[in-house]
Amino acid sequence: MKALVSGGAGFIGSHLVDALLQRNWEVTVLDSLESRVHGPAPKPTLPPGVEFLRADVRDKTAWEKALEGVEVVFHQAAYQDYMTDYSTFFHSNVVGTALLFEVIRQRHLQIRKVVVASSQAVYGEGQYQCGAHGVVLPLARTNRQMQKGDWEVRCPQCQQTVQPLLLREDFPN
């Protein structure tokens, strides 16, 4: 089986590459080696036998080359710090992912599966402590709150401001 791991030089991606190699998969890594993640003079530290393409997921030509002969794609590449650069965050994560699917479709590639990484945002706001009601699971802030500039997370029962609690990995939100 041949896999492409975008973001394969990163923390999660590199462990995924190791796991695929242990299962005797052929692996290609597409990674930009973003200096904010990999340091000022980044060099990939990938195991022998891994094909490495240093390229940006916003580069359609890079996707075309990386997808040659691939059966499974693990799309782990992501620009994580949206607070400092909204446009780069959007273009890397949204446009980069769109280009992946665009190339697959335009070239009629026989990709068996695409596994797209998610983020901690899927877990929602998490647990909070309300002085009156104890541990609560607040709803998302309303449009009205946002328009008023009210960024506080509130108790769903009494609307008091609540305090965040540690996220427990074993707690199903």
Contact 80, 11 (CB under 8 A): no
Q: Determine the Cα–Cα distance for residues 80 and 47; give it in Å rounded to an integer.
A: 25
Q: Comparing C-alpha atoms, which of 172, 64, 156 is closest to residue 123?
A: 172
Q: Which domains does the chain have, with CATH numbers?
A: 2-117 (3.40.50.720), 126-164 (no CATH)
Note the pLDDT tens digit of each residue in 79-116.
876 667 788 888 888 999 999 999 999 999 999 999 99
Tokens (6 digits) for 144? 């009205």
Q: Determine the Cα–Cα distance for residues 76 and 118; give it in Å rounded to an integer.
A: 8
- Tell me the helix, strand and coil percentages in the chain, rounded to 5: 30, 20, 50
Answer whether residue 120 shows pLDDT above 70.
Answer: no
Find the mean pLDDT for residues 69-73.
98
Looking at the DSSP assignment, which residues form a beta bridge with residue 75? 6, 116
Note the pLDDT tens digit of each residue in 125-139.
688 999 999 999 998
Phi, psi values for residue 116, rounded to 5°: -105, 130
Question: Of the ranges 77-81, 145-149, 169-173, which is most confident?
Answer: 145-149
Tokens (6 digits) for 91? 């273009």
